[in-house]
Amino acid sequence: KAGVTQTPRYLIKTRGQQVTLSCSPISGHRSVSWYQQTPGQGLQFLFEYFSETQRNKGNFPGRFSGRQFSNSRSEMNVSTLELGDSALYLCASSLDRGTQNTEAFFGQGTRLTVV
Amino acid sequence: AQSVTQPDIHITVSEGASLELRCNYSYGATPYLFWYVQSPGQGLQLLLKYFSGDTLVQGIKGFEAEFKRSQSSFNLRKPSVHWSDAAEYFCAVALRGSASKIIFGSGTRLSIRP
């Protein structure tokens, strides 16, 4: 069974540009969450999508957005990039059978460097 | 506010020695509890989880953790560490009913002394 796949693995962008990261969840998983990991702030929750709807949102500016498609694949977009957006962006998927929660499985991450 | 505290930033233990990594949480109710491990440049791998039931939880790679409600703790243990256990370990919590929104501790970096 394939795991969570994130593309690309590495990305270098210039300040002011925008970027789109992609995440393909484990087959059958309908919940996809995104996290930002930096040395200073650690691992922080960005947002979660379930059945194409944003269900939870962390404390990030509106420059960070996401969406989920009907096949559960998800993308996150960061506009007007800042140096501080340099981070490892992790995607996680979970089965989420209504009230029966399950654990989240993480992808390898996308390393974004803003120069 | 909800929070997870890992008081040890960096721990070094000798190969073959026992290990205990500390984790305390602050939540209104008993949350879901997790331990994840991360090798350099890699994603997070789930070691073990506590949802309910037996408070001593067994995980992969010989790790176990004990949930103590009275102390709001979920410490990770391993009786004998191997050099391959060197990594960063994260304690994490999630609200019941919202297991997809995970709050992470700041992590403990584990080094193994040969």
For B22-45, the pLDDT digits (tens) are 999 998 788 899 999 999 878 899
Task: Tell me the nearest-neighbour CA distance from A66 into chain B, angstroms.
Answer: 15
Question: Looking at residue B2, what DSSP letter applies?
Answer: -
Confidence (pLDDT) at B53: 86
Cβ contacts of B43 on chain A, cutoff 8 Å? 4, 90, 106-109
Confidence (pLDDT) at A15: 98
CA distance B66 to B57: 6
Confidence (pLDDT) at A20: 98
Q: Which residues of chain B have pLDDT under 50?
A: none
Confidence (pLDDT) at A93: 93
Cβ contacts of A109 on chain B, cutoff 8 Å? 42-43
B105: Cα within 13 Å, side-chain hemisphere: 30
Cβ contacts of A44 on chain B, cutoff 8 Å? 104
Residues A35-46 as b or e (16 or more Cβ within 10 Å = b): bbbeeeebbbbb
Please, what is the average pLDDT of chain B?
Answer: 92
Contact B103 A45 (CB under 8 A): yes
Per-residue tokens: A49: 């999508």
Confidence (pLDDT) at A97: 61
Confidence (pLDDT) at A101: 57
The residues near B56 (Cβ < 8 Å, ≥ 6 apart) are B64, B65, B66, B67
Interface of A to B at Cβ within 8 Å reads 4, 31, 33, 35, 42-45, 48, 50, 55-56, 58, 90, 92, 94, 96, 99, 101-109, 111
Cβ contacts of A59 on chain B, cutoff 8 Å? none
Confidence (pLDDT) at B96: 73
Confidence (pLDDT) at A100: 56
Digit-by-digit pLDDT tens for chain A (115 residues) are 679 999 999 999 999 999 999 999 999 999 999 999 999 999 999 999 999 999 889 999 999 999 999 999 999 999 999 999 999 999 999 887 655 557 889 999 999 999 9
Instruction: Output the furthest CA–CA distance in chain A (Å, rounded).
Output: 43
Confidence (pLDDT) at B100: 76
Confidence (pLDDT) at B42: 84
Contact B43 A109 (CB under 8 A): yes
Q: Tokens 């233990």 identify what position?
A: B13
Partner residue facing A48 (CB), from B45, B49, B101: B101
Cβ contacts of A7 on chain B, cutoff 8 Å? none
The residues near A87 (Cβ < 8 Å, ≥ 6 apart) are A36, A37, A38, A111, A112
